[in-house]
A and B are shown apart, each in its own frame.
Chain A
Amino acid sequence: MRTIVAMVMAGALGVVSIAAQKPDRSAPPALGPAPSLRLPPVQKFTLANGLPVWLVEQHEVPLVQVNLVVRTGSSADPFGAFGLASLTAAMIDEGAGGRGALDLADAFDMLGAQLGTTSSFDASSVRLSVPVARLAEALPLVADVVQRPDFPGAELERLREERLTSLLQARDNPAAIVQAAFPRLLFGPEHRYGTSPTGTAASTTTMRVEDLRSFHGAHYRPDNAALLVVGDITAADARPLLERHFGGWTVSGARPEVAAVPAARQPARRQVYLIDKPGAAQSQVRVGGIGVPRSTADYFPLLVMNTVLGGSFTSRLNTNLREKHGYAYGAGSTFDMRRTAGPFFATAGVQTDKTAEAITEFFRELNGILAPLSAEELDKARNYLALGFPRDFETTGDLARRLEELYVFDLPEEYYAEYVARVQAVTAADVARVAKAYIQPDRFAVVVVGDRSVIEAPVRALKLGTVTIVPLDEVFK
């Protein structure tokens, strides 16, 4: 049963002799050569209907992860129906193949399976984690959810109320407000990226069963999807099961073309937006602009640059706002990369009475990253990314998510094999070049959610640009 490797307890004498020779603490110990990650091979095959399958064997724990990824997400929502992809994904497991929502949930629960249905701007995913012994029973249920959702009207009404209530609750939370306000003010209400994937109260209210059915029919199809399988199973064992439940999935007609989300233009000048949250103990601050698409050729230089700026604990933003000034519990920055350029932003929750001071420090760092980097800082960032990379491949869920990234963004098969080398190849000149190209502090939007009565005057005194007071309703409209 269990193997316990008992080790003999250190005898007192032995310990004394060790303690007698104190270790040399004058410098941190030298590190040996970094280990390389042995990436397990991705086995690829195609089912009878053309549905591609990517499979990675991982036999450590008796679990299997199966992700069915559709290469269409919220970016395909028509104007006026923002939230359609998201609500479709949320509805497909609320009744499928003639089984009601409760029965379906019960069936997964009884197998010890976890099912998630979700969407992003670029994809919709059905994710199953199941003990391998129950995979054969779980797959037909997943096949129903993916291929034969029933979209019961009563379940739509229930989810609609749930979503409208969540939108109401978001107004309580300064972090949720800034998350909605920043893209809205940067991209505007008409651009798809200007509204959260879940849409608005108005679009949620008007969504009909026919809308969901037609979105599902148009995009959930074997020529627009892939099955990603990771876990305690071989391709030989998985293939017949997948063939049985997904190989017969067919749809008629051609796949509709989905127009790409248009690229947004960087604002011409810096603007400040203030949203009042009376009595707030902290201001939520977000500073940034239009970033880059996932396909950017500058991906690796940007990754390294952002790690230095705000992508790690010792990044400049966190060191400044948290460690040096104590204005915030934490600060960071992100490039949200999608098929079309998403937002870049630096962000923190800062104590109300230091809001203006904190904004000054944000700009100090955004301007500072435009100056050349020291070799030491560059090394630290590259090593942090490259040497920490293997941790992203530890669990079946981690690995399947990595495969999703490859599939959704059409990344080359050798992408992960080359990842470490490409990070290490980034030079200081590369970082300087991408900082200059993408960090444009004079054109960034500054969005602040906080107690206007305390912060407005000091923020105006910074003279960063026009200050606009934005009503909360505008953010969620």
Chain B
Amino acid sequence: MRRSILALFVALAALAPLQAQAPRALSVPYAEFTLANGLHVILHRDASVPTVAVNVWYHVGSGHERPGRTGFAHLFEHLMFEGSKHVPEGAFDEWLEAAGANNNGSTSSDRTNYIIDLPSNALELALFLESDRMGYLLDTMSPAVVDGQRDVVKNERRQGVENAPYGQAFIELGTMLYPEGHPYSWPTIGYMEDLTAASHQDVVDFFRMYYAPNNASLVIAGDIDLDEARRLVEKWFSEIPRGAPVPPIAPPALTLTDVARKTITDRVQLPRVYLAWHTPAQYAPGDAALDLAANLLASGKNSRLYKRLVYDMQIAQDVFAFQQSQALGSVFLVVATARPGQSLARLQEVIDEEIARLAAGPLDPRELERARTQIEASFYRSMERVGGFSGKANQLNQYYVATGMPDFFEEDLSRYRAIAPNDIQSAVSAYLPRGRRVELSVVPGDQ
């Protein structure tokens, strides 16, 4: 459903391989400019279908929340659809649907994004709506509107946490990995009591602090005329006043020094183990090597963990490995579910053996090539779509926010091309130590 929380640990982009005879440079041509109020704008033309993607990132996520108000960035995201000074409650969605558009939003610990995918003739409607909620949200915001979305968000949490098998695990992992007060220690969906406590005044303060044009970036991609798109952006967004500079987050230092171990119960049939490590931030040295390591461990039948646990020994129902890349620091995660009658201890033993083997090397160059080919093909597949949460518009915005370069596609792919077998070994040895990590077991019982 829409307006969803990005799962804390999203599977690495749908992995799909590719290896053309000669690597062909990836390029997404763009134009960019910044309005006087600080709004950064990126335009990309792709006229393959007559649609346009309007993609706005506000550089605020659950990591900017304060203790006692967890879940607020995401609750606020919901409020952004409830109307603004010139858009009556309900009209945001109704006008867009009547124009043939889909729209949505999502919140992560680092950012909040909003997408509108619509026919090219309706671009100006999207810019009117986006600019109105950027400039005039508070004019019509009321405690009743906040209460309404509070109930919706609580149901979103029930659906994704309380009523979902293993749904508590990611909340536990956050508190086990991070010290109290660290921006990644609480869940993006928030604690129930904090959702209850959120007030109309909190909405006002949050909007003024974070929802200013100088804390946002806008991508318009698709079947557009670049000059006309720029004219429309200037028309609708220039009048919005710049906000005060947003202070950067100052996270407390990580404190995990050895193994943090915990077992929780849930109403599930089968036990599941989660192993989690702190790893380098997105695009930092080591990040790409760990992406590849995750692929080598658990992507495809021939990956090391899948082959041993699921295919050969058949003691696990499934196994996953991800490098969950984030701005302040990433998490590498291995998750495996035991088959009936099998113990988590045995699963963990095999996982540790395979990670140790990966760290010790040597890595078969063919095995690395297979992983790299899959990642390379995923880049090509990601360039087929303009809109949505995973299309080019969103990727341009993500690259811009993280690196300052919207067209970072080729550079990003080059990170993987540059990895040698011994880079994987050093990254795994350095960042996935057996003696410094989180070990969480979820076993059958009461919730």
Residues of A within 8 A of B317 (CB): 162, 165-166, 169
Given contacts A15-B36, A168-B270, contact A5 B50 (CB under 8 A): no
Residues of B within 8 A of A9 (CB): 33-34
Contact residues, A29-64 vs B (CB, 8 A): 29, 31-38, 58, 60-63
Given contacts A1-B27, A33-B121, contact A105 B300 (CB under 8 A): yes
- Kindly state the interface size class of chain B when it binds its partner: 35 or more
Residues of B within 8 A of A191 (CB): none
- Whether, in the assembled complex, B225 has its beta carbon less than 8 Å from a beta carbon of chain A, the answer is no
Contact residues, B1-53 vs A (CB, 8 A): 1-2, 16-21, 24-25, 27-37, 43, 46, 48-51
Find out whether the CB atom of B36 lies under 8 angstroms from the CB atom of A19.
Answer: yes
Find out whether the CB atom of B17 lies under 8 angstroms from the CB atom of A114.
Answer: yes
Nearest Cβ distance between residue B20 and chain A, in whole angstroms?
4
Find out whether the CB atom of B270 lies under 8 angstroms from the CB atom of A326.
Answer: no
Find out whether the CB atom of B381 lies under 8 angstroms from the CB atom of A129.
Answer: yes
Given contacts A15-B35, A26-B86, contact A109 B27 (CB under 8 A): no
Residues of A within 8 A of B37 (CB): 15
Q: Which of B129, B226, B301 contacts A102 (CB 8 A)?
A: B301
- Whether, in the assembled complex, B374 has its beta carbon less than 8 Å from a beta carbon of chain A, the answer is yes
Interface string of A326-355 (1 = CB under 8 A from B): 111110000000000000000001110000
Q: Which of A12, A349, A384 contacts B36 (CB 8 A)?
A: A12
- Whether, in the assembled complex, B352 has its beta carbon less than 8 Å from a beta carbon of chain A, the answer is no
- Whether, in the assembled complex, A390 has its beta carbon less than 8 Å from a beta carbon of chain B, the answer is yes
Find out whether the CB atom of B269 lies under 8 angstroms from the CB atom of A169.
Answer: yes
- Kindly state the interface size class of chain A when it binds its partner: 35 or more
Q: Which of B98, B120, B158, B446 contacts A351 (CB 8 A)?
A: B158
Find out whether the CB atom of B121 lies under 8 angstroms from the CB atom of A61.
Answer: no
Segment of A81-89, A202-210, A256-264, A278-286 engaged in the interface with chain B? A278-286
- Whether, in the assembled complex, A172 has its beta carbon less than 8 Å from a beta carbon of chain B, the answer is yes
Find out whether the CB atom of B300 lies under 8 angstroms from the CB atom of A109.
Answer: yes
Nearest Cβ distance between residue A10 and chain B, in whole angstroms?
6
Interface string of A383-400 (1 = CB under 8 A from B): 111111111011111000
Q: Which of B24, B34, B152 contacts A322 (CB 8 A)?
A: B152
Find out whether the CB atom of B155 lies under 8 angstroms from the CB atom of A349.
Answer: yes
Find out whether the CB atom of A158 lies under 8 angstroms from the CB atom of B300.
Answer: no
Find out whether the CB atom of B384 lies under 8 angstroms from the CB atom of A112.
Answer: no
- Whether, in the assembled complex, B172 has its beta carbon less than 8 Å from a beta carbon of chain A, the answer is no
Residues of B within 8 A of A387 (CB): 99-101, 119, 122
- Whether, in the assembled complex, B416 has its beta carbon less than 8 Å from a beta carbon of chain A, the answer is no
- Whether, in the assembled complex, B415 has its beta carbon less than 8 Å from a beta carbon of chain A, the answer is no
Interface string of A97-108 (1 = CB under 8 A from B): 000011001101
- Whether, in the assembled complex, A254 has its beta carbon less than 8 Å from a beta carbon of chain B, the answer is no
- Whether, in the assembled complex, B410 has its beta carbon less than 8 Å from a beta carbon of chain A, the answer is yes
Find out whether the CB atom of B234 lies under 8 angstroms from the CB atom of A134.
Answer: no
Find the residue from B21, B49, B95, B302 having the highest chain A CB count within 10 A.
Answer: B49
| C-alpha gap A210/B366 in the complex (Å) | 37
| C-alpha gap A6/B31 in the complex (Å) | 5
Nearest Cβ distance between residue A280 and chain B, in whole angstroms?
6
Interface string of B258-270 (1 = CB under 8 A from A): 0000000001111
- Whether, in the assembled complex, A421 has its beta carbon less than 8 Å from a beta carbon of chain B, the answer is no
Find out whether the CB atom of A172 lies under 8 angstroms from the CB atom of B230.
Answer: no
Find out whether the CB atom of A129 lies under 8 angstroms from the CB atom of B16.
Answer: yes
Nearest Cβ distance between residue B82 and chain A, in whole angstroms?
9
Residues of A within 8 A of B340 (CB): 165, 168
Find out whether the CB atom of A169 lies under 8 angstroms from the CB atom of B270.
Answer: yes
Q: Which of A37, A105, A112 contacts B301 (CB 8 A)?
A: A105
| C-alpha gap A109/B16 in the complex (Å) | 8
Q: Which of B21, B119, B147, B384 contacts A63 (CB 8 A)?
A: B384
Q: Which of A18, A313, A397 contacts B238 (CB 8 A)?
A: A18
Find out whether the CB atom of A131 lies under 8 angstroms from the CB atom of B380.
Answer: yes
Given contacts A23-B239, A26-B86, A31-B125, contact A62 B120 (CB under 8 A): no
Residues of A within 8 A of B132 (CB): 25
Segment of B59-67, B161-169, B426-434 engaged in the interface with chain A? B161-169
Given contacts A4-B30, A35-B119, contact A19 B238 (CB under 8 A): yes
Closest to A104 in B: B301
Q: Which of A5, A36, A330, A383 contacts B1 (CB 8 A)?
A: A330
| C-alpha gap A379/B99 in the complex (Å) | 10
Closest to A397 in B: B384
Given contacts A172-B268, A312-B97, A313-B93, contact A109 B120 (CB under 8 A): no
Interface string of B285-299 (1 = CB under 8 A from A): 000000000000000
Given contacts A2-B410, A279-B446, contact A7 B17 (CB under 8 A): no
Find out whether the CB atom of A18 lies under 8 angstroms from the CB atom of B119.
Answer: no
Q: Which of A63, A161, A330 contacts B314 (CB 8 A)?
A: A161
Find out whether the CB atom of A380 lies under 8 angstroms from the CB atom of B98.
Answer: yes
| C-alpha gap A279/B86 in the complex (Å) | 44
Closest to B121 in A: A32
- Whether, in the assembled complex, A22 has its beta carbon less than 8 Å from a beta carbon of chain B, the answer is yes
Closest to A385 in B: B100
Find out whether the CB atom of A37 lies under 8 angstroms from the CB atom of B165.
Answer: no
Find out whether the CB atom of B29 lies under 8 angstroms from the CB atom of A330.
Answer: no
Given contacts A25-B85, A172-B165, contact A102 B302 (CB under 8 A): yes
Q: Which of A28, A105, A314 contacts B302 (CB 8 A)?
A: A105
Find out whether the CB atom of A396 lies under 8 angstroms from the CB atom of B17.
Answer: no
- Whether, in the assembled complex, B320 has its beta carbon less than 8 Å from a beta carbon of chain A, the answer is no
Find out whether the CB atom of B155 lies under 8 angstroms from the CB atom of A109.
Answer: no
| C-alpha gap A109/B300 in the complex (Å) | 8
Find out whether the CB atom of A61 lies under 8 angstroms from the CB atom of B155.
Answer: no
Given contacts A314-B97, A395-B384, contact A171 B1 (CB under 8 A): no
Closest to A162 in B: B317
Residues of B within 8 A of A6 (CB): 31-32
- Whether, in the assembled complex, B77 has its beta carbon less than 8 Å from a beta carbon of chain A, the answer is no
Interface string of B363-386 (1 = CB under 8 A from A): 000100110011011001101111
Given contacts A60-B48, A61-B384, A396-B384, contact A351 B374 (CB under 8 A): no
Residues of A within 8 A of B25 (CB): 1-2
Residues of B within 8 A of A101 (CB): 301, 311
Residues of A within 8 A of B162 (CB): 281-282
Residues of B within 8 A of A365 (CB): none
Find out whether the CB atom of B98 lies under 8 angstroms from the CB atom of A35.
Answer: no
Residues of B within 8 A of A394 (CB): 48-49, 51, 384-386
Q: Which residues of B contact A (CB under 8 A)?
A: 1-2, 16-21, 24-25, 27-37, 43, 46, 48-51, 85-87, 90, 93-95, 97-103, 117-122, 124-125, 128-129, 132, 147-152, 154-156, 158-159, 162-165, 223, 226, 230, 234-236, 238-239, 267-270, 300-302, 307, 311, 314, 317, 337, 339-340, 366, 369-370, 373-374, 376-377, 380-381, 383-387, 407, 410, 446-447
Chain A to chain B: the 7 pairs with minimum beta-carbon distance, closest first: A387-B100, A326-B151, A112-B17, A112-B18, A35-B50, A281-B162, A2-B27
16 A-B interface contacts by CB (under 8 A) = A7-B33, A35-B223, A60-B48, A60-B384, A61-B383, A62-B24, A131-B380, A166-B317, A169-B270, A281-B163, A312-B97, A323-B90, A326-B149, A327-B151, A349-B159, A387-B119
Q: Which residues of A contact B (CB under 8 A)?
A: 1-10, 12, 15-16, 18-19, 22-23, 25-26, 28-29, 31-38, 58, 60-63, 101-102, 105-106, 108-114, 129, 131, 133-134, 158, 161-162, 165-166, 168-169, 171-174, 278-282, 312-314, 319, 322-323, 325-330, 349-351, 379-380, 383-391, 393-397
4 further A-B contacts with Cβ under 8 Å, apart from A7-B31, A111-B17, A328-B155, are A16-B36, A313-B97, A349-B159, A351-B154
